[in-house]
Structure 1
Amino acid sequence: MKKLLTTVAILWTGAAQAEGELQLFNWGDYTSPELLTKFEEETGIKVTVTDYDSNDTALAKVEAGGHGYDLVVPSANYIPIWREKGLIAELDMSKLPNHGNIAKQWVDVPFDPGRKFSVPWQIGATGIAVNSDAYSGDINTSAIFLDTPEELKGKVNVTPEMNDIMSLALWYVGGEPCSENPEELKAARDALIAAKPNWQSMDYGMTEKLAANDTMASVYWNGAVFRANLKNDKVQFGYPKEGYPLFMDSVALLSDAQNVDEAYKFIDFIMVPENAALISGYARYANGIEGSEEFMDEVMKTSPMVNIPPELAEAGEFLPTCSAKSLEYYTAIWTELQK
């Protein structure tokens, strides 16, 4: 989930003598400064964070080479792509004594069985943010952006994350993510093209805009919407009943990493429950580390923006890795939508 269009270098100087450096390539506005400060104080390793705005952006940058990054944080459906391209390395478990802290349900995951190539960072959902001052109807539906209510026309942002938006549209028209069915894809395409005139924008970085009432609704990620809600309690989060993507972003070691020892120290560090809680406390998403909940604040433990309501949980699914044919359709539709 998911994210500002900025690149931020964070160089934290702690009491410890610097022993090395580390280059982390991560989603925008997703890395806790408190976590980095603690890591440097304990290890002396300085961390530089460079932000990206989408899985495709990160993949293209690393695949092009000459990037200088050590760690990256892809989403679940992209981990197999990184592996197949040889861009991430199999982890040396002897250097990760905290690997056993990964919660059991997040170890043998389809995208990385046994967690040999990645460790959990954050878990969340893509759904719909709506300001209750602007709209009081059902928000647990993708109709908010695909069949926009009159009250929200011209006030809806659609975050330009292709896989999420295409999946939501396909579910809405009765299809499935990564479909190769031309009829389903045409229905999703037609719904998106017809809906676009009712949108305000297609942009990232909605947390502050939602909080400031500059945008009244947006397809966005639950943790980022939660952060907006903490500043403006009129901002609510809906889980589309037609279907919505779940995501799990995980940290992976790049095959051409230069600061390998430092990278292993960081990977092991974030699997300590208290440290995983720092990540969640900043980004406001759940994580996959056993025991981290006890270090979180009460609002994190109870908010429906983090803890999916049981009646809406079944509609959430982790996205599959799309076939080349499906992606060809996706890209054609997406290109048309951007015009």
Structure 2
Amino acid sequence: MSGEGLIAEARVMHGDAGMLRLKELMARGCEFLGTEWAILGGAMSWISERNLVSAISNAGGFGVIACGAMPPELLDKEIAATKAMTDKPFGVNLITMHPQLNELIDICAKHQVGHVVLAGGLPPAGSIERIKASGAKLIAFAPALALAKKLIRSGVDALVIEGMEAGGHIGPVSTSVLAQEILPEVAEQVPVFVAGGIGRGEAMAAYLEMGAVGVQLGTRFVCATECIAHPNFKKAFLRASARDAIPSVQIDPRLPVIPVRALKNREMENFSAKQREVAAKLDSGEIEMGEAQLQIEHYWAGALRRAVIDGDVESGSVMAGQSVGMVKREEPVADIVRELVDEAAHALGAR
């Protein structure tokens, strides 16, 4: 056999071995989710709706509806519409501070949603029990080891550890540090998915070898053909580099604002003014802390809608993770998933 033939044969063997290893490392995550690949779609408000969610699930991953600020009746319709577009498993992401959280949990139970993802802080009293009583598996975000342990004691079924490289609301610690800190401590107790800054399959493979059962990606799916985001929003992603995705700045230390990572534009400056406005209302006693936080959340929801739906990428919020520089083209979800899987398998096969 020629030298080129031997190289080609070696690549096939490496690829086959890598794919077997990938399936082995993802087996626990796939079993937990009921999917072909343990790849969750990040829940992005206005973006992670029926079209993208069903496409991710149909491609072998696990789509997640972003409930965000939706009222119960709207979530009811969104779940029903998603079920009409896929017979594969998908989940629903609920925000813990939503004033109608219990009603949203009941909507998920009504539709027999198999997995509920809680984000935005510690689950309020009774919410974990309410979700588990419906028969759903509960996934929660753990931005620190102490919180991960507390959530496990509380009865969550799986964790997502998401680093500051992610888009949208972020914590202060990088994904690589969180993975090193949390995975060795809790990976044997519950399935753990890693998120934040993942744009290629090689990174997926590395976190799987560290003990994760799967990964979550949001930014990579924004420019999917099936994503309903406005063409202007997608163009902003295609033009951006990692350094363009910056975190918002907390203006007033008395107002606990979770930083948001987005592409730098005029909206990032407008948010500083909004913080000052809300802080003034807090000082005057016009509103209390809970209402202040909700006002900030509603502000972000509106700013994100202007960018995603209306295409106003200057006065709207273009939330994006630092992996945005790895988004090169608009393409079908199935192609994105296949590319990630092939990259991961190749990396594992070359070990």
TM-based fold match above 0.5: no
More strand, by proportion: 1
Greater relative contact order structure (CA < 8 Å, 6+ sep)? 1
